[in-house]
Structure 1
């Protein structure tokens, strides 16, 4: 029987992705109501460049007429109502990464991020005050800081079908205990493959994260970490240990406006633990906590029980894909 996977029809037409994310980022429409912008050069800036399209203020659906590597000399800032659609080409961003700062309605699809260098350089940095964001089918590896960081009151975000590898601090959600505004953060992570990344798949402070149908294997410290006041709902994921067996970690920190230190809460429901992976869920982390349930925020999501065959599917379907760029159908703009 074929695996139940989300988004089976979003490649039918170019803009069918808009507003179709599952989870907290479900309202992200990207550049749905804007014209097509064609990237015609691999140059870092100038006419026809990705940077030139991302800085424009009007909605745009950005597609690529070229394949290859774009060497970013500085963070590439993305303004609101943009879709960066890598379907149909092989585009790799290196040197620096994307910065989603005080923006909304962003879709980033089918790109590769590799080799980001410098202090505080993330593959995709989402801060501050950004919302309605969907990161889908991207491959990320080997950055000097995080692969995807979501901090400073950024919220309503979905990360789906992404591949993470060759990295230490993979995904930080919630900046530090002094940023109490991060209590608003809400993120969904699903159908992703964390392949030997060391830690932070993710690490969360303050906010709410729904993890489902992800495959995390061979981590170096822990798989998932709940820090101060965080709530993580881990549902039907596959955790396959390597040398390190501890799946869930709990770090205690003190919020800036509280007197006592607290860790976070992880609820594990239907998860599969392989090769001696140890959940280590302790009762003190769940007692007295107002734990959220995803159904309070969105009615449905595409999920199936974890299995060895589903693990194989995720390894194939996560990350950049060699798919054609769908045709533009004008009725999608009506």
Structure 2
């Protein structure tokens, strides 16, 4: 018998014996794991040729990250925070009614690593503990500095931790998924994106194992939410606008909710629970690491601003939170303290161009509803 495979390097399809653990692509001679091709939804109009072209484009986007920081860095910073001595994955019995997965990927072996993501994780951890009474034992912190191998932010580990987040969730639970790292887009092959692109997050091993798609994040942590469960995702990454594939997106300029339902007609709903996502920027924008808001350490712009606004405004509404975050970005741009120079200015211009975005599983009055994690 033979497996049908796709080369991880050139994306060409080929067949190989099922007995070998690794095989060589006959087209480019790259060594590949002998994993059979997954069945996929029908390809876009244009057939296999268009599908191949789009796959090659996706592969190029992945590899270009080796040379270009898609999430720009505007300064440098360090982190020396300690990690919890116990891991929530080992907890026996019922999980707490407030739990969180906090993931910061720094890509420290790359030329253009992100220097603010580890700071982001610990700043978010402190906010949850001090402001919202989360307990450290009910949090999973994923970074490349983790002494626990299960909490290195690989694709498999992130997926496993997301499953832990929603495991046996019950009415009254409040869940948080936080991600700081690179984000990308790739062509949508399932006709479930209005703009024709799936949004993704990039684990530390994504060049080998692949990115995590918005479809997969939805299936893992949004779809299982039962009535009475509340999930917040805060995603500080490029192209993160609709990273949870939620059906409603708030337009701040029009002061109204807009429809984000898939063109295919497929419904992307919870099982009665509520899901909210605050993203660093819209799907076609980039987000930045910066010291524009704090001279002491590098952090993601969204992360720093959100934490500062929430700490300074207890009981703030979702609407006021969005307004104040955008005001701070605009203020930083006006003062000229957010921009870069040289290559950075060529990539993203002299200012922070990102606009934080709110999406949700159902519409609600954002100026009358308190932001409560």
Please give the TM-score of this superposition, normalised by the length of structure 2. Answer: 0.27
Who wins on radius of gyration, i.e. which is larger? 2
Is the strand fraction higher in 1 or 2? 1
Is the helix fraction higher in 1 or 2? 2
Please give the TM-score of this superposition, normalised by the length of structure 1. Answer: 0.29
